Structure 1
Amino acid sequence: MRPESAPNYLAAYPAALAEKVQQLIDQRTLAGHLLQKYPLAHSVRNDRALYEFVSEAKGRYLRNTGSLSRVAFDSTLHVERRALGMHTTISRVQGGGLKSKREIRVAAVFREMPVAFLQMIVVHELAHFKEAQHNKAFYQLCLHMEPDYHQFEFDLRAYLTWLAATDEPLW
């Protein structure tokens, strides 16, 4: 069994961009750039606060998608396995109707990150309630809910690359 290599969080981006991020990591300047852009971690520290944070975003953009049953930070989701968040919908027959439960779980690593990164993962998981696949409509919905979605996703991926290379959290 061979050892697992660090995940390539920037694999979907142009090679030149990934190389630039790697240079900033090697020069130990990426942390400064990220801290300048995102100086503080958010204050959402527990599941109740996360539920309120997600419910507020859902109420603003996806009022007609049914209620959320549960929202929680999940320490079993591992960034190394590319699981930053997870959404589930369980439907079952109850009486004469169909009852559905919707859950969102967010990787515990997001407890200590800037609000922009938390907002990005929440928007991503909420978008899955309307669009199951990562297609054009999915990303358009993400951009509708968070106009800076793509920039936040790239910065998060750069930070995760930093974290994998140095094991030094910034927030």
Structure 2
Amino acid sequence: MPGLRYLSGYSEPLQAQVRELIARDRLGELLRNRYGQAHDVRNDKALFDYAVELKDRYMRKAEPLNKVVYDNKLHVVRHALGTHTAVSRVQGSKLKASREIRIATVFRDAPAELLKMIVVHELAHLKQREHDKAFYQLCTHMAADYHQLEFDTRLYLTHLECVRPELPAVGG
């Protein structure tokens, strides 16, 4: 049985429950029952539109997004599930900032709620750089069940690692 790398910060009794679900081959079933609906956000244009819609709904005053894409190399390069960058360039006498979000391609096939959690997380970084109280308050403003979704995303990644161990690990 693979290690529980995505759950290493959680208590041992909780990890034991997850190990039991894995041993009984029930973790996938639990996730399917909780999150049965896939999403239609299949390409980069749809992902961009999805992220902009969330940003406009909850963070109207934040800087506009220039690019939001699925990135199949993200887990190899950054050891992350998503990234946000702000690239500043001088154009004439003006300083222009380009804001990008990249989401690991593993979320192209993830349940809709888990994609939302990753997009919300990266959007929150547009305003809050650190994972502090203000950051998580913003996340829960955009997705009230953010903490449950974050945990379930970790379960989902653990499940994928158990089912398809040949896939490179995502995150850390």
Aligned partner of 2:90 in structure 1 is 93
Aligned partner of 1:26 in structure 2 is 23
**In the TM superposition, what is the alpha-carbon distance from 1:94 to its structure 2 partner?**
2.4
Aligned partner of 1:112 in structure 2 is 109
In structure 2, runs of 5+ residues without a counterpart are 168-172
Structure 2 residue 111 is the aligned partner of structure 1 residue 123: no
Structure 2 residue 71 is the aligned partner of structure 1 residue 74: yes
Deviations 1:12-45 (A, max 9, x none): 2112111111110111111111111111211110
For 2:6, what is the secondary structure of its paired residue? coil
Deviates more, 1:91-100 or 1:24-33: 91-100
1:16 pairs with one of 13, 20, 38: 13
1:79–1:107 contact (8 Å) kept in structure 2: no
For 1:68, what is the secondary structure of its paired residue? coil
Paired with 1:106 and 1:36, the residues of 2 have a C-alpha distance of: 25
* Coordinate RMSD, CA, aligned: 2.0
Aligned partner of 1:167 in structure 2 is 164
Give the share of equivalent positions with the same residue, in percent. Answer: 51
Structure 2 residue 150 is the aligned partner of structure 1 residue 146: no
- Within 5 A, what are the aligned runs for 1:46-57? 46-57=43-54
**In the TM superposition, what is the alpha-carbon distance from 1:82 to its structure 2 partner?**
3.9
1:6–1:164 contact (8 Å) kept in structure 2: no
Paired with 1:36 and 1:85, the residues of 2 have a C-alpha distance of: 25
TM-score by length of 2: 0.89
Which amino acid is 1:38 matched to? Y
**In the TM superposition, what is the alpha-carbon distance from 1:97 to its structure 2 partner?**
2.7
Which amino acid is 1:26 matched to? A
**In the TM superposition, what is the alpha-carbon distance from 1:6 to its structure 2 partner?**
5.5
Which amino acid is 1:59 matched to? D
1:78–1:107 contact (8 Å) kept in structure 2: yes
In structure 1, runs of 5+ residues without a counterpart are none
Paired with 2:144 and 2:77, the residues of 1 have a C-alpha distance of: 27
Aligned partner of 2:170 in structure 1 is none
User: Kindly tell me: are residues 20 and 79 of structure 1, through their superposed partners in 2, closer, same or farther at Cα, counting changes over 3 Å?
Assistant: farther
**In the TM superposition, what is the alpha-carbon distance from 1:130 to its structure 2 partner?**
0.5
User: Kindly tell me: are residues 79 and 157 of structure 1, through their superposed partners in 2, closer, same or farther at Cα, counting changes over 3 Å?
Assistant: farther
Aligned partner of 2:130 in structure 1 is 133
2:71–2:104 contact (8 Å) kept in structure 1: yes
Equivalenced residues, count: 165
Deviates more, 1:75-84 or 1:56-65: 75-84
